[in-house]
Amino acid sequence: MPETMSNQLPDVAERFMRYVQVDSQSNPENDTVTPSTPAQHEMARYLGEELKALGCTDVTVDEHAYVTGTFAASKGAESAPALMLCSHLDSVIDAPASGIKPHVVYYEGGDLVAGVVNGKTIATTQEQVPDLKDFVGMDIICSDGSTLLSADDKAGVAEICALLKRLGDNPELAHPTLKIAFVPDEEIGHGASLLDLEKLGAAYGYTVDGEALGEFNYECFNAAHADVYFKGVMVHPGSAKDVMVNAITVASEFQQMVPAFERPEHTEGYEGFYHPIAIEGSASEVKLSYIVRDHDSQIFANRQQVLQDIAAFLNKRYGENTVRVEIHQEYRNMAEKFDGYEFLIDYALEANREVGIEPKPVAARGGTDGAQLTFRGLPCPNIATGGYNAHSVREFIPVPSLKVTVDLLEKLVAKFATRG
């Protein structure tokens, strides 16, 4: 396992730099197994030992790489309902994530250079991330530019563990019983799906995931995955006239009929989208995969129907069963489930302000483990970690952002110490 990087860094940054060096990338091509990669077992075992060292009891690392533990309440808060804190331990497949080499850059302005890879400078400009101007004079953690950093979501893991360290060292700090959960395969849609909520025993909780400080999510997309299958009719091309149906051609027509202005690269805020993410096959058979997203449940349903309608149109043109659409539901907009739990939102907004951050409630253009947990009966909005450029080799996180998130979590958990 990695050794401590530097005695000069705050505890949370030292932890973060250790954790990112443990490979734990998930793999959507192996999504019938949880975890989808053996590396996540190693990360889970490592975090299980971390929780034990931090004073947690009932620490469990199960066969699916779910890590759970209990941190005892402060004196006088034993009767308060237990609060869960959750982060995911996997890294995304969108960029290389093995052999991460984090390093600290003292940022003096201009481009933030992560490293040089094959003679190419890997940098983030202030035009790309306007918040960079606020980080002049700060230490910023980057990868070497050849991999992502894995702040999504090992920053969240480190911030939770650093909170436990602080609470253990300062028993006068108020907090209820804390239920800790680190879950695998969030990046491929599994996340907290196998977390045993009855055994965990929390009344409600927060995920610690996401990006810029102050961003707070209690709304998210409704999400589905659509696989579209195209069946061609193959004959010798020399005698193909009026007989051949080329599956590649039909797939291309299908994609051209999906509204072009409703793709991720043309949408923002509450605007949903259709996003083609993979294609494979030949002139005989093609599989085209989409993710479908929208915050509004009715528009979300309409989007799914659009795909079915395009398939029906093409089947009339090319013959029945030429195109087949299979839609798999992934998660729902958790905003539907916070009636009676508005205090979870209020407490988070207050905690942000108490550490000097003006909160920005944002409808997440994605999903968190909290969406799944909320629909399973454990209301769970999301706290940001302070990272930027997630899923990219340009990913970075300022060291002060890591520390202030721990401060925020300290303020947040104190609010639950006297809740009946």
3-state class percentages of the chain: helix first, strand second, coil last, to nearest 5 = 35, 25, 40
Domain with CATH 3.30.70.360 in the chain: 222-331
Which residues are paired to 181 by β-bridges? 68, 86
The sheet with strand 204-208 has its strands ordered as 57-61, 67-71, 178-183, 83-88, 204-208, 382-383, 215-220, 360-364
Q: Phi/psi at 192 (nearest 5 deg)?
A: -85, 15
Q: Minimal CA–CA distance to 326: which of 313, 311, 341, 315? A: 311
Answer yes or no: 78 catalytic. no
DSSP tag of 48: H
Rounded Cα distance, 97 and 144, in Å: 11
Question: Any idea which architecture 11-219+334-417 has in CATH?
Answer: 3-Layer(aba) Sandwich (3.40)
pLDDT recorded at residue 299: 97
In the chain (420 residues long), the average pLDDT of successive 10-residue segments reads 58 98 94 95 98 98 98 97 97 93 96 96 96 97 97 97 98 98 92 93 95 93 95 92 95 97 95 96 97 96 98 97 95 90 96 96 83 92 96 97 98 94
pLDDT value, residue 191 = 85
CB-hemisphere CA count at 13 Å for 52? 10
| Distance, CA of 92 to CA of 95 (rounded, Å) | 7
Choosing from 14, 23, 50, 90, the catalytic residue is 90
This prediction has a pTM of: 0.88
What local confidence, expressed as pLDDT, does residue 3 receive? 41
Backbone angles phi, psi at 278, to 5 degrees: -160, 150
Q: How far apart are CA 189 and CA 21, in angstroms?
A: 23
Determine the pLDDT at residue 190: 85
Whether residue 186 lies in the annotated active site? yes
Coil, strand, or helix at residue 188?
helix
Question: Has domain 222-331 been given CATH number 3.30.70.360?
Answer: yes
Question: Which string of DSSP letters, residue by residue, matches 222-290?
Answer: EEEEEEEEEE-B---GGG-TTT-B-HHHHHHHHHHHS-GGGSGGG--TT--EEEEEEEEE-SSEEEEEE
Q: What is the 3-state secondary structure (H, E, C) of 351-363?
A: HHHHCCCCCEEEE
> Which one of 23, 50, 186, 211 is the catalytic residue?
186
CB 286 within 8 A of CB 280: yes
CA end-to-end distance (rounded Å), the chain: 42
| Cβ count within 10 A of residue 248 | 16
pLDDT for 4? 40
* pLDDT computed for residue 369 by the predictor: 87
- Report in angstroms the alpha-carbon separations of 18 from 34, 149, 154, 401: 24, 12, 10, 17
Binding residues for Zn(2+): 88, 152, 187, 209, 391
- Among 4, 1, 13, which Cα is nearest to 404's? 13
Domain with CATH 3.40.630.10 in the chain: 11-219+334-417
d(C-alpha 83, C-alpha 257), whole Å: 47
Distances (CA, A) of 21 to 9, 154, 236: 16, 10, 53
Name the nearest CA neighbour of 140 among 159, 112, 121. Answer: 112
CA distance 59 to 51: 7
8 Å CB contact between 113 and 123: yes
Q: What is residue 6's predicted lDDT score, i.e. its pLDDT?
A: 46
The pLDDT, as a whole number, for residue 244 is 92
